[in-house]
Amino acid sequence: MRCALVSAVVATLLLLSGCAGLPTVPDTPTAAIGVIDAIDATTNETIAVDATAILGGVRGTITVAEGSVVLRNVPFGTGTPPVQPLTVTAPGYVTFAEPIQISVTVVTFFTAELQPADPAETGTVRGTVTSDGGLPVTSALVKFAHVAPGGVTEVRGYTDNQGQYVIGGIPIGTATVTAEATGFVTSEPMQATVVQDADGGVSPDVNVALVPGSTRVGVNGIVVDTFTDVPLAGAQVQFGAVANVVADAGGLFGIPSVLVGAYDVTVTATGYDEFTQTVNVLPGMARLRFALTPSAPSPPGGPYNLQGTVTLNGAADNSGAVVTAVDTTAGVTWATVTTEASGEYTMFLPPGEYRITAAAGGSSVRRTVTVPSGGRVLRGVDFVLTVS
């Protein structure tokens, strides 16, 4: 019960600080002190297993015997009021992760409410987030997104001052992982396999490397005709607010120094529809390729303007895959279709950029595509999923 929890916390503090009671806060503190405990969100009672707590990068263990943990030397941060991310992970529970306000004058107390998780249906993943030269990134936010027919489940957690994280309660199967941190470029999505915690299951570690936001790289690309692949000399490429360049006789263009990050790119050429795309600039990126569609006066003549095939490895046929198109600008779902045995699907979508997701049997794959205007059909938006 809560009264027992309070008694445990007080006992812990007495042991840590003697008869004076609470941990001592200096007259002019340079860092915060946090006292963290965890309860079961369904029973409001102290959890019966040890838990890992990370506050502002400082890691400690909430033991069953103590009932809480005192985390010292927690950075104040630069916000007003000060805020630091807290992560609490315990076996059999979904990881708790959210920023909390930090006191600069007294001890900060916080109770994390953990939602129970079924060990047969969820797993735990560990890993590290690093920067240049393998340096750890503290308080990086790591997200695991699991896509299922019922929707998307996201479980998240923050790294400690060694760049390490542990996140539990993630639905088993394939999850999409991203990491982000202040001063760094958000990582490109990567796929992870989550194994059930039951029966001693262990999920593979997922390590992420972030690129500092101050990094500059050269960007090169080519502009071609969608149907003939002929280079489009003279095409104009507006690369965000960085540069407006003109493709040469071979359709090639280059920008020598661009800060890493996401840029909205617009490409135009006489006699062609305007092309727009968001480009993530990162070290080692491949040469960009922009394919423009010749302008046409009439709207689409058929019942669809996007076509593809979903292949289900491990299934008797390709039926039952759910394909969804979401407008990346407005976040609106424009169409949802289910494949039949052939795996083929079609959609009719307004011109624009869409995130197309194919999901089946606990697996999902997504692509970002641009649907052209002018009555053209975008073909070959294909997916391959492995299902059990």
Kindly report, residue by residue over 29-68, the tens digit of the pLDDT: 788 999 999 999 999 999 999 999 999 999 999 999 999 9
Q: How far is CA 121 from CA 42, 163, 197, 199, 325, in A?
A: 18, 27, 8, 12, 28
Per-residue pLDDT, 361:
85
Per-residue pLDDT, 227:
81
Look at residue 348 and tell me if it is in a domain.
yes
When mean pLDDT is compared across 22-31, 235-244, 262-271, the lowest value belongs to: 22-31
Same domain (yes/no): 173, 250:
no
Look at residue 301 and tell me if it is in a domain.
no
Q: How far is CA 47 from CA 9, 93, 350, in A?
A: 14, 9, 51
When mean pLDDT is compared across 32-36, 135-139, 328-332, the lowest value belongs to: 328-332
Name 292's Cβ contacts closer than 8 Å, sequence gap at least 6.
223, 224, 225, 226, 232, 235, 267, 269, 272, 273, 275
Domain end position, chosen among 116, 143, 168? 116
Domain end position, chosen among 159, 178, 212? 212
Task: Indicate the number of domains in the chain.
Answer: 4
More confident: 153 or 22: 153
> Quick one: pLDDT band at residue 23, thresholds 50, 70, 90?
low
Most confident of the ranges 197-211, 288-302, 308-322? 197-211
Same domain (yes/no): 143, 84:
no
Specify the CATH number for the domain of residue 328: 2.60.40.10
When mean pLDDT is compared across 64-73, 164-173, 360-369, the lowest value belongs to: 360-369
Helices (H), the chain: 2-17
> Quick one: pLDDT band at residue 26, thresholds 50, 70, 90?
low
Same domain (yes/no): 76, 3:
yes
The single-letter code of the amino acid at 194 is V
Considering just the CA atoms, what is the radius of gyration of the chain in Å? 26
Look at residue 15 and tell me if it is in a domain.
yes
Specify the CATH number for the domain of residue 276: 2.60.40.1120
Per-residue pLDDT, 155:
97
> Quick one: pLDDT band at residue 3, thresholds 50, 70, 90?
very low
Same domain (yes/no): 151, 186:
yes
pLDDT digits (tens, 9 = 90+) for 191-244: 999 999 999 999 999 999 999 989 999 999 999 998 888 999 999 999 999 999
**329, pLDDT greater than 70:** yes
Look at residue 167 and tell me if it is in a domain.
yes
The DSSP-derived string for 56-79 is TTEEEEE-TTTSSEEEEEE---SS
Among the listed residues 262, 265, 246, the one whose alpha carbon sits nearest the alpha carbon of residue 254: 246
pLDDT digits (tens, 9 = 90+) for 82-116: 899 999 999 999 999 999 999 988 999 999 999 99
Same domain (yes/no): 70, 135:
no
Look at residue 299 and tell me if it is in a domain.
no
Same domain (yes/no): 18, 42:
yes
Domain that holds residue 361: 306-386
Same domain (yes/no): 7, 111:
yes
Domain end position, chosen among 72, 99, 116? 116
Beta bridge partners of 126: 166
How confident is the prediction for the chain on average, in pLDDT? Answer: 88
> Quick one: pLDDT band at residue 4, thresholds 50, 70, 90?
very low
Residue 173: other Cβ atoms inside 10 A: 21
Look at residue 298 and tell me if it is in a domain.
no
Same domain (yes/no): 19, 38:
yes
Tokens of 45: 């009672």
Same domain (yes/no): 199, 226:
no
The stretch 243-258 carries a mean pLDDT of: 95
Per-residue pLDDT, 27:
60
Same domain (yes/no): 111, 122:
no
Same domain (yes/no): 281, 344:
no
**161, pLDDT greater than 70:** yes
Distance CA 274, CA 42 (A): 54
Put simply, whether the predicted model's pTM sits higher than 0.75 gets the answer no
> Quick one: pLDDT band at residue 315, thresholds 50, 70, 90?
confident
Same domain (yes/no): 61, 134:
no
